[in-house]
Amino acid sequence: MKIIETVQVFDSATHRQAATFTETKHDDFILRVWDVELIPPDDLAVEAAAKRRSERDTAMAEPLAILSRHQNQRDFDIPTTLTDEQAMKWALYLQGLRDYPETGVWPKKPE
């Protein structure tokens, strides 16, 4: 006998498909409807923190490259493209990005 599976419409931001279902037998098929459950707040918090870390990791590439170039220029007595004040602003921005997953505050990017 053919089994047709479906799930109720739900908001995936707050709910998920459960591991349980109900079946209704018809003449030529079985309709299996999967249940929906509320996502526990702790799971939502873990997911939100992972998203913030991912956003942060992507954004960190630019200040890391800028500060690495600045440090290399200083190490090899090459004229720097940044002043020490500009480098400090990039370093503070980088620290703000590192802190973002815990604080939830996105730092202002230096100009």
How does pLDDT run across 76-97, given as a tens digit for each residue? 999 999 999 999 999 999 999 9
Strand-by-strand arrangement of the 2-7 sheet: 2-7, 29-38, 15-25
Contact 15, 38 (CB under 8 A): yes
Q: Half-sphere exposure of residue 47, counting CA atoms within 13 Å on the CB side? A: 10
pLDDT value at residue 104: 87
Domain layout of the chain by residue ranges: 2-38, 41-102
Read off the pLDDT band of 101 (50, 70, 90): confident
**Residue carrying the six token digits 């200040």:** 63
How does pLDDT run across 31-76, given as a tens digit for each residue? 999 999 999 999 999 988 899 899 999 999 999 999 999 999 999 9
Q: What is the pTM of this model?
A: 0.66
Tokens coding 4: 């047709």
DSSP 8-state symbol, 111: -
CA gap 29, 70 in Å, rounded: 69
